[in-house]
Chains A and B, each alone.
Chain A
Amino acid sequence: MLALIIRRLALGLVTVWLVSVIIFLGVEALPGDACTAILERDAHGEALAKCREVMGLNTPALTRYLDWSGGILTGDFGLSANGQERIAELVGYRLRNSLLLAAGALGVGIPLAIFLGVIAGLWRDRWPDILFSTGAIFAMTIPEFVAATILILIFAIWLGWVPAIVLTPADAPPLEFFPEFILASTVLTMLMIAHVMRMVRASMIEVMAGDYVQMATLKGVPYWRIVFRHALPNALLPAINVIALTVAWLLGGVVVVEVVFNYPGLGRLLVDAISDRDLPVVQAITMIVAITYVGVNLVADILSLALNPRLRSHQERGA
């Protein structure tokens, strides 16, 4: 058990390391660097050289990679491109806001998705299934920005319940951007429910057709007890990893939602940074998102190891 967790942890670290290499090399390969971005038209001759010296861009790539990655390990992401702001500070509140958004969507979305998925799976091809499944297809396919636009159209413009465009500073207390929070997390939750529900449904259908459900029926176990005690745990266990993968993937897509709603989170910062060619900030945010992604998957791995008796003893036999 422990050996397997250590193995997963090691793999996760390898992935994070690879991400850092990809990001660093990717930025290296781009034409121009932080100094050309800051100096813009003045980026030539002595000014450029001086700037590079100040920013430490003259040193070999390997040294800079080690400096940069070493900094990340201690939580220091360095300075933004204009050399004025510490990235760690820039990111701090926005990370909090983004996590808040994700937590809201997950907290509502996952239980609801499981509930709807179970219902749709049990009533396969009958009206609850058709209703939820079709709904899910719509929710999955309508682009986030379209859904967001429609919500703004309805709630801000026609109903006037929330202001259409607001600019809340990132460090404001969460209550101040509550309207944006509600709208943005609604869009995210819808997406999340759609994806996860479809998976739970498929899993449930598979399990309900299984031999042990038939056996439980012929043992005289009442229907709902079969559903909750025999079927549901077996339907959810193998789905944990898949759900985590989906959730982690959706969290990466928060970018668009944040931009649409002007939500003061990491995503909007990322888009702004790209527009400003603020590469250090882009690198930093990418690393944070990647670490979150790997972390979510790791948690799911360990969770399913801990909960699934079959995986657990497979491991024991192997060790």
Chain B
Amino acid sequence: MSTTTPAPRSLRILEILRAMMARPSGAIGLTLVAFHLALAVLSPWIVPFDYMAMDATITLAGPSPAHWLGTDHLGRDVLTRVMLGGREALLVTGTATPVALIWGGLLGVYLGLKGGWRDEIAMRLVDAFLALPGILPLLVLITVFGSGGEVLMPTLAFFFGIPVIRVARAAAHEVVARDFVSAARARGHRPLDIVRRELLPNVTDTLLVEGAMRWSWMLLGFSALSFLGFGVSPPKPDWGLMISDARVYMSLAPLGVIAPVIALSTLIIGINLSADALAKTLGLDHSRKAVI
């Protein structure tokens, strides 16, 4: 009965974005994300101070015309550090999320189509990895190899890809049961062609929503690492690290904690609201699924 005109792929993305903007959650979410992305790109040119510049005379100061958000325990400008504090996190998670989504998604879809002993073994391994306490493998690898982006990025991409396998496999299973996949198999297409033409187009929606959620969780994980002292190394500014440092002086200079908390929270809430709106736009919001 629907008479919507078919749209080519590039237009479809625009259409989805427009539909998301029509929802309050999507509008707020996308705006927050866009703001943070713009800030991350532009901040090196617009920050008022050098993020390393210390001024021992004004440590833990409150807001002043020069330092709008006050200074930290080393006398560095909090505003500057908050503006810069999301760059590393966004860079690392922004690259690791797509990688996790692609490798986990492809493998999951392939397993969903193939089944059999490969699937059985792979799923046992996935179960075993999921049984490890979330943050532990990251902590161990970081203590040994250091916490540079070149370590964090692949590590996060690997460990966050594992739950994606499970989600993609479940989504693929639903599609594989349908007759158009049987039809393709009966015609004799190669498995990879079936994955590409029949399965992937039907699971991308699920994977997109999944990806948005994973991104926010990865950001959470990244900040938690920094907070615990295993992530970004000082003196680089990072929200998690700043919260951890300023916590000790919370009673003297609450802004030192509150400012990065607000920055981090707005970004993550933005991503989550966007993911929520995306799921609703694609009609995927009322399916039961686990976080892993």
Contacts and interface: CB of A to CB of B under 8 A. Distances in A.
A242 B254 contact: no
Nearest to A235: B288
Interface residues on B, range: 35 or more
Contact of B227 (A153, A238, A256, A285): A256
A259 B276 CA distance: 30
A118 interface: no
Given A149-B243, A255-B133, A142 B292 contact: no
Given A137-B276, A277-B143, A242 B131 contact: no
Contact of B131 (A19, A157, A202): A19
- The secondary-structure label for the interface of chain B is helix
Given A26-B137, A149-B257, A157-B251, A275 B292 contact: no
- The secondary-structure label for the interface of chain A is helix
B269 interface: yes
Interface stretch (B44-52, B121-129, B147-155): B121-129
A140 B133 contact: no
Contacts of A23: 132
A271 B228 contact: yes
Contacts of B290: 199, 241-242, 245-246, 249
Interface stretch (A70-78, A171-179, A286-294): A286-294
Given A15-B128, A282-B140, A249 B286 contact: no
Contacts of B265: 141-143, 146
A250 B223 CA distance: 17
A79 interface: no
Interface in B236-292: 240, 243-244, 247, 250-251, 254, 257, 261, 264-265, 268-269, 271-273, 276, 285-292
Contact of B143 (A252, A275, A289): A275
A138 interface: yes
Nearest to B127: A15
B137 A18 contact: no
Interface in A266-319: 267, 270-271, 274-275, 277, 282, 285-286, 289-290, 293-294
8 contacts: A138-B269, A149-B243, A149-B257, A255-B134, A256-B227, A270-B139, A271-B228, A289-B136
Interface of B: 25, 124-125, 127-137, 139-140, 143-144, 216, 220, 223-224, 227-228, 240, 243-244, 247, 250-251, 254, 257, 261, 264-265, 268-269, 271-273, 276, 285-292
Pairs of residues from A and B, 5 with the lowest C-beta to C-beta distance, nearest first: A18-B128, A252-B133, A290-B131, A245-B290, A293-B131
Interface of A: 11, 14-16, 18-19, 22-23, 26, 30-32, 134, 137-138, 140-146, 149-150, 152-153, 157, 164, 195, 199, 202-203, 205-206, 238-239, 241-242, 245-246, 249, 252-253, 255-256, 259, 267, 270-271, 274-275, 277, 282, 285-286, 289-290, 293-294
